[in-house]
Homo-oligomer: A and B are copies of this chain.
Amino acid sequence: MEVRVPVTEIVDRFLAGDRRALARIISRVENETPEGRDYLRDIFPHSGKAHIIGVTGGAGAGKSTLTGALASEYRNRGKTVGIVAVDPSSPFTQGAILGDRIRMQSLALDPGVFVRSMASRGALGGLAPSIADVVAVMDSFGFDYVIIETVGAGQDEVEIAGTALTTLLVNNPGTGDDIQAMKAGIIEIADVLIVNKADHPGADILVSQLQALLALAPAGSRRPPILKTIAMKPEGLEKVADAIDDHRRWLDESGELEKHRMSNARHQVVAAARAILLQRIQRNTSAEELDELVRQVAGRTLDPHTAAEALADSVRG
Contact = CB atoms under 8 A, between A and B. Distances in A.
Nearest to A61: B177
B89 A272 contact: no
A25 to B, nearest CB: 13
Contacts of A303: 40-41, 44
A183 B153 CA distance: 14
A29 to B, nearest CB: 10
Contacts of A41: 303, 305-306
A96 interface: no
A275 B125 contact: no
Given A44-B304, A280-B312, 17 more contacts: A40-B303, A45-B300, A59-B184, A60-B176, A124-B158, A133-B304, A154-B154, A175-B176, A258-B298, A262-B298, A265-B295, A268-B297, A269-B290, A269-B308, A270-B278, A270-B308, A277-B315
Given A154-B125, A154-B154, A155-B124, A273 B281 contact: yes
A189 B125 CA distance: 14
B273 A308 contact: yes
Interface of A: 37, 40-41, 44-48, 58-60, 88-89, 121-126, 132-133, 151, 153-158, 175-177, 180-181, 183-186, 188-189, 258, 261-262, 264-266, 268-278, 280-281, 290, 293-295, 297-298, 300-309, 311-312, 315-316
Contacts of A293: 269
Contacts of A280: 312
A127 to B, nearest CB: 10
Copies in the complex: 2
B88 A184 contact: yes
Contact of A177 (B177, B278, B311): B177
Contacts of A58: 177, 180
Contact of A307 (B272, B295, B300): B272
A255 B126 CA distance: 30
13 contacts: A37-B305, A44-B300, A44-B304, A48-B300, A123-B185, A124-B154, A126-B155, A153-B155, A154-B154, A270-B278, A272-B305, A274-B274, A277-B281
Greatest chain B CB density within 10 A among A44, A133, A298, A316 is at A298
Nearest to A260: B298
A177 B175 contact: yes
Contacts of A274: 274, 277-278
B295 A262 contact: yes
Contacts of A124: 154-155, 157-158, 184-186, 189
